[in-house]
A and B are shown apart, each in its own frame.
Chain A
Amino acid sequence: MIPEIGHIALIIALVMAVVQASLPMIGAQQRKLEWINLASPLARGQFLFVAVAYGCLTYSFIVNDFSVRYVASTSNTALPLLYKVSGVWGAHEGSLLLWALLLSAWTVVVSLFSRGIPLLILARVLSVMGMISIGFISFMLFTSNPFVRLFPAPMDGRSLNPLLQDFGLAIHPPMLYMGYVGFSVAFAFSIAAMIDGKLDAAWARWVRPWTNIAWVFMTLGIALGSWWAYYELGWGGWWFWDPVENASLMPWLVGTALIHSLAVTEKRAAFKSWTVLLAIFSFSLSLLGTFLVRSGVLTSVHAFTTDPARGLYILVFLVLVIGGSLALYAWRAPSLRSIGQFSAISRETGLLLNNVVLVAMAGSVLLGTIYPLALDALGVGKISVGPPYFNQIMVPLGVPLFLAMGLGLTLRWKKDSTSRLSKKAIIPMGLALLIAILLPLLFAPEQHGLTFIGLILASWVALAAMIWLLNQGRSPFKLPASTWGAVIAHIGMAVTVTGITLTSIYSLEKDVRLAPNEQYSLGDYQFKLIGVQKVQRDNYVAYQGTVEASERGEQAMLMHPEKRTYLSQSRPMTEAAIDPGLFRDLFVALGEPLGKGAWSLRIYHKPFVRWIWLGALFMALGGLMAALDKRYRRLSSRVEVTV
């Protein structure tokens, strides 16, 4: 009964979405106030029904209702409650439902915090979000219904990959989806502005906080995914340039460009049509990312031939969203005239450089991700591009990006002078140069050109941001939140770049064969295999290794890497032992038994690897502070009074 209620709720939500998408939009054109006023209540109603549907599916997971096909294929009785709840978004159908839920939730939140926004614009924004919602809900109802029953119902569900039973991974998709869906707000506002033919500073102030919040969630989501891959997959890598990862990186890159372009639109009334274009692309890439990861097209492009309706629907949906919004753009963008002029040396130019580089990065990632898929789908050949492709592009593109990033905050709007800039740049650049030369000389085992480049860029970005903050002429604690946000986010990026540079260059990674009491030296560390024992736990058996790690012969410490076999599974799973630290991680994973008590072991020394995720935390904090700046709220309350 409960699944049927969910199914019906979803149908009602679809009907409401159709009304929400059409009436307010027509009402806004024909100035019919009653139709315009329908937008907010419909958004709330739609959210209610999607939430009911979502609740029903969650209930079916919790009570192990295996007569629901989706539950039977993604859950089982042995699963802890937490992973049953997170199992809802464990596969294609449920993750679409989560998407729809978050979308309707964002829509309601937009309607709640909309007091400063003219009714006409709000009606159009909510209408566009309703259209996206139609796309997702009808996709579910017509091709991927999570409530489909299974007859006869199996006694137990399919066993779930134990790799996926992890808290970090459980909260990773909702985080990422909050970001994906959040970009729909900027998208909807852009469509509304194009229809309206007006895009002013007030518009940018409405869009900026939403875009920032979406970006914060994406940043955290990507960082979580990277961290999970590091500690759980047993490979010790933190980024693999896997299509699944690239799918989330592309909207993040374009979204980062959007955040910066919006600043120009707000302060200088320039880059207007460019901002709109970025909003379209960041949302389109979010859609692409969702479908790439969840439709099964990555494991096999032939997934589409087994279910052609699904593939066709996705293609049509993408073409409608991207093609439709670009057509509207071609028609209406000329009316969004940018009036702000600027000279060649100005903050506008700096942000233009930021945008061009970020979009070029996203384009290169897109090429490396989509092209092999397209070739395979066309039957031309099977190719793949590995990490070297992406590294070869990202490093040279990153250099101008980070050079401009340091200058960016210091640059003045409209017109700046080279002499003033060079005076401002000389202290941070000098210090950065010192750091980049001295630190590796003092601490690094060997010198490397790329260390120099990475360190000088990172310290330049961080120092330039800090010095700029101190030179604001006011006590730093009286500065607006958005100023702090920008500085913290820039420092965060510098922290991440430092982590990436040092980990990539100085990581020591070794696969070794060790017999009991045999020792291996890796850099300053000695690793001694004491032995491997078989241990029995609640739901798995494991080989547990005991490895003694010591730094230069002192400070012996025991590490326990495991090779587990879960009872419901036949495949073993590597559980690495990690000794974390701010400046280095030690990482030991068990390979295979090689006979006579000897094992193959994977031993890593990873300097500064934590900085990669630490920097992402800073970036997210910075984005949050910028979104919470007083001036966005001040504006809405002022308009409220005049209405």
Chain B
Amino acid sequence: MTPRRKKRLLLVLLMIFGVSSATALALKAFDQNMMFFYSPTEINAGKAPENRDFRIGGLVVQGSVVRSEKSLMVKFDLTDTKEVITVQYAGILPDLFREGQGIIARGQLNDGVINAVEVLAKHDENYMPPEIADAVATAKEAN
């Protein structure tokens, strides 16, 4: 091997090393931070993971929103029209949060209650996030 080729080989090896470590990094981060989406029915069937964030979507049950008197803690029920699950959250709810609206929450499941760290209600008043529409449709089919 000529010295020039040796140098080139070294460069190529370095690049391969760099790219593969970046790939490993990406896949590991991806695996750690991947979040699945579950409907209330799936959660009550015990499908949701423990000690790991996931996303849940559903309609806020009418009359279920309860606020704390002293803190920002708020509790509400979510439904996919079949099963119901309670979510609690300490923070400011988004502008579009209403009873009867579709929302998505991110959090973990503890003792049958979702402890949410984020509550999202995007889009305009006529729009239902596709995940929730799907969950509701699936629940209706099962009925």
Contacts and interface: CB of A to CB of B under 8 A. Distances in A.
Interface of A: 161, 234, 299-302, 341, 343-344, 349, 352-353, 356-357, 360, 363-364, 367-368, 371, 381-386, 388-389, 392-393, 396-397, 400, 511-513, 563, 570-574, 591-592, 594, 600, 602
B32 A388 contact: yes
Contact of A571 (B30, B96, B130): B96
A513 B71 contact: yes
A384 B55 contact: yes
B24 to A, nearest CB: 11
A349 B11 contact: yes
Given A299-B123, A344-B7, A360 B22 contact: yes
B67 interface: yes
Contacts of A349: 11
17 contacts: A300-B130, A344-B10, A360-B26, A363-B22, A364-B29, A383-B34, A384-B37, A386-B53, A388-B32, A389-B32, A392-B25, A392-B33, A396-B25, A400-B18, A513-B70, A591-B72, A591-B92
Contact of A382 (B18, B33, B36): B36
Nearest to B130: A300
Contacts of B50: none
Contacts of B33: 385-386, 388-389, 392
B21 to A, nearest CB: 9
A397 B24 CA distance: 12
A393 B23 CA distance: 10
A201 B26 CA distance: 36
Contacts of B66: none
A86 B79 CA distance: 40
Contacts of B99: none
A24 B79 CA distance: 62
A545 to B, nearest CB: 13
A357 B18 contact: yes
A108 B65 CA distance: 60
B113 interface: no
A302 B35 contact: no
B11 A344 contact: yes
Interface in B80-117: 90-93, 95-96, 106
Interface of B: 4, 7, 10-11, 15, 18-19, 22-23, 25-26, 29-30, 32-37, 53, 55, 67, 70-72, 90-93, 95-96, 106, 123-125, 130-131, 134
Contacts of A344: 7, 10-11
B26 A363 contact: yes
Contacts of B90: 511
Contacts of A364: 22, 25-26, 29
B30 A367 contact: yes
Nearest to B22: A360
Contacts of B29: 364, 388-389, 392-393
A367 B26 contact: yes
Nearest to A382: B37
B30 A368 contact: yes
B36 A594 contact: no
A389 B34 CA distance: 8
B74 to A, nearest CB: 9
Contacts of A392: 25, 29, 32-33
Contact of A383 (B7, B15, B35, B123): B35
A356 B124 contact: no
A161 B11 CA distance: 53
A381 B36 contact: yes
Contacts of B36: 381-383
B8 to A, nearest CB: 9
A594 B67 contact: yes
- Name, among A343, A364, A371, A396, the residue most crowded by chain B CB atoms within 10 Å (CB to CB): A364
A540 B37 CA distance: 37
Contact of B130 (A302, A396, A602): A302
A356 B30 contact: no
Contacts of B67: 594
A370 to B, nearest CB: 12
A385 B19 contact: no
A592 B89 CA distance: 14
A602 B94 CA distance: 12
Nearest to A303: B130
Given A400-B18, A592-B92, 5 more contacts: A360-B22, A386-B106, A393-B29, A570-B125, A573-B95
A620 to B, nearest CB: 28
A397 B25 contact: yes
A234 B95 CA distance: 10
A613 B112 CA distance: 44
Contacts of B10: 344
- Name, among B29, B71, B106, the residue most crowded by chain A CB atoms within 10 Å (CB to CB): B29
Given A367-B26, A381-B36, A396-B25, A161 B124 contact: yes
A602 B90 CA distance: 12
Contacts of B91: 511
Contacts of A563: 95
B19 A571 contact: no
A592 B119 CA distance: 14
B23 to A, nearest CB: 8
Given A349-B11, A364-B22, A513-B71, A572 B30 contact: no
B102 to A, nearest CB: 13
Contacts of A602: 92
B86 to A, nearest CB: 20
Contact of A512 (B7, B11, B37, B72): B72
A392 B30 CA distance: 9
B80 to A, nearest CB: 13
Contacts of A384: 34-35, 37, 55
A381 B23 CA distance: 23
Contacts of A388: 29, 32-33
